[in-house]
Structure formats: structure tokens, C-alpha cells
Amino acid sequence: MAPRWFVALSLEINKISYAHFFAAATAYAGVLYAMGLYYSALVFFFTMVFVLGITGFLKLTTRVERRADCMVDMPYKNRAFPSGHSAAAAFVGTMVPYTIPFYSPVGLYLFSALLGVFVLTVALSRLALRAHTLFQVIAGIAIGVAVPLLAIYFIDPPLVDWLLLSF
């Protein structure tokens, strides 16, 4: 059983919805755009949409039931795969260090380690509340990491420049 303080933290994390995440990530992309980091803003925003879309699509199509001993009342009992909270946290942990210009490798490493702790905390909170199984959490993290890495690898900067100039 998880300590009381972690269960309390997990219950607060559980209150974050797709709408909250979408609003915060869109605001972050807007800040990047306002800073003149157009490429990073565009890649961040569209990758976020893909992560949310893939996660939502899998939740709707697989219809995996939540654990019977789930500690929180979830509105949809049959949308447990994959963990959306874990996917969103892993997305943030993968994309934010990519989009922020760091002037020192030490700053990048420390910030990335801090985000790693954040991702681990969210993943463990899903397990502590028994909202997901370990497999569902790992699948969410895999989506949250794989989609941004594929986007970073395959999105061609000249294509992004063309999109930015077209609109």
C-alpha cells in the first residue's frame, strides 16, 4: 500500500483531464511561438495532438475494463488501455527538453532528470490508485515517448518552414 501522502498526491493528479492537458500544452506551444521558436512550437503542438489522438483512439477501440479494485470513480469504466495520464506525462518529459533552448548540457541533464521524476510520479500514481495495470501504464509511456521521437526524427524542417510560410 502506498503512503497516505502519495495517495493524496495521486488523487490530485487524477483530477487532470484531457482538456486540462490540451489547454496547458497549447499554451506552452503558444509561448514557444511567441519566443520565435516556430519550428519547436509547431512540432510540439502537432505531436501533442497525435499522442492524444492515438491514446483516445485506443481507449475507444480496445474497451479494456478498469481494475475491479480501482480507488477512484472513473466516468468510463471500459477505457483503461492505455493510461492517458502516463502518455501525457511521458510526452511532456520527451518534448519539453527538445523544445527549450539550453545553453549548458548540465542544465539540460538536470531538467530532463526532473521531468523523469515527474513521469515516474505520474506512472506510480496510476498504479497506487489501481486505476491501471502495469501493462497499461507502460503502454501509455511507450506512446508518450515513441510518438514524439518519431515526429522529431521524421518531420522535415523544410516542410515545417513551408507550413509556417503558408499560413
- At residue 156, the pLDDT reads 61
- DSSP label of 156: -
For residues 104 and 87, the answer to whether their CB atoms sit within 8 Å is no
For residues 148 and 95, the answer to whether their CB atoms sit within 8 Å is yes
pLDDT in tens, 135-144: 999 999 999 9
**Mean pLDDT calculated for residue range 87-115:** 87
pLDDT in tens, 2-57: 788 888 888 888 888 888 999 999 999 999 999 998 888 888 998 999 999 999 99
- At residue 160, the pLDDT reads 57
- Listed by start position, the domains of the chain span 4-162
